[in-house]
Amino acid sequence: MRIALGIEYDGRPWCGWQSQTCGCGVQDQLERALAEVAGHAVRAHAAGRTDTGVHALVQVVHFDTTAERSLSAWARGVNAFLPGSVRVRWAKAVSDEFHARFSARQRSYQYLLINQPVAPAILDGKAGWHHRPLDVEAMSVAASYLVGEHDFSAFRAAECQAKSPIKHLYRADVSRLGDCILFNFCASAFLHHQVRNMVGALVYVGKGSHVPEWMAKLLQEKNRKLAPPTFAAGGLYLTGVDYDAQWELPECQRSLAAFALPLG
């Protein structure tokens, strides 16, 4: 039997999604909890990997089991064995043809940036921060150059293992909610550190170091050394995974706007 799960997690205590020998991955925590309920070892497969310190409002996972349990057991029961920073939000039985990673059509990320003179203590590790005023209109224009199919080598981490730097970005926009700035990105797949590197470049535009058209130049140059440093991991959230309707999965999209609005 194959079960799909929707999970959320606070990335601060963990070294990313992927299992590690020291057991510090979110995957390690989830597989340990699933094994407690299933009564046998379980391997969990996720829609996408997140790095150390990166959060997920929606991460979709699947696993196979020989144990017959209620969907409630795969959600509330598993949560009883998880640390408070990791939670299963829903569980659904799916066919063996479903794969959390390979059945996914698109993935969505949001980056939460606090734009005020003093870094907010209450959001330490949960948001990025920039102390000087940022021009959201200029950043929005710059973000528009990222939409479409491009070679994103200028925003690719040196350790990226992707076969090709060419990706199709379906959405890239920026909006302000009071002192909060939200960056939205959607693509079929992303390069390692691509979102955080794009945010870093957009902030340089926002603070006036470059004009919006500079973003198009970065794409054309395809040189990571010409782009700004990688922005902090704490503001990045996996917020959605798109699947065909045939899988009838529950909640697969959430937004930081609901959390950021009260802060604005």
Among 10, 28, 51, 179, which one carries the catalytic annotation?
A: 51
Instruction: Spell out the long-range contacts of 64-67 with Cβ–Cβ below 8 A and sequence spacing 24 or more.
Output: 64/1, 64/2, 64/3, 64/96, 65/1, 65/3, 65/34, 65/38, 65/40, 66/1, 66/38, 66/40, 67/1, 67/37, 67/38, 67/39, 67/40
Active site residue 96: no
Cα 156 from Cα 204, distance rounded (Å): 17
C-alpha distance from residue 251 to each of 5, 59, 60, 241, 242 (Å): 10, 10, 10, 9, 10
Residue whose structure tokens are 């699933």 = 34
Residue 192 near residue 159 (C-beta atoms within 8 A):
yes
Residues marked active site are found at 51
